[in-house]
Amino acid sequence: MATRMMWIAWPAFLAACVLELLVFAFVDPLDLQWASGQALGWSRQTVYTVAFFAFWLVTMGACALTTLLRIAPAEVNECPLDRDQRPAACPRESGFVS
């Protein structure tokens, strides 16, 4: 499980770093406004921090979806219980001989 979390978090972190660099190379945080036209009123550091975490969350979602789609059907359909503890509704074999 920890390995899968790193498959999600690390590439997402790197992508968020790149997005942060690309976006703020062209956008000045002090020029940002709310939809109503009012100035955002946040410091540059606050905008950079909030934007980084927003980018990280979005890219983590994409990486999580990729990881989910990468799971083999046998792993998804495998019954998590031992053979002698399985109910009738969980007859699937894991593919491994026990």
Domain ranges of the chain: 2-85
pLDDT at 97: 44
pLDDT at 26: 95
Nearest to 95 by CA among 77, 18, 71: 77
Q: What is the mean pLDDT of residues 36-60?
A: 95
pLDDT at 44: 93
Q: Are the beta carbons of 16 and 56 closer than 8 angstroms?
A: yes
pLDDT for 96 beyond 60: no
**76 vs 9, residue with greater confidence:** 9
Average pLDDT, the chain: 86
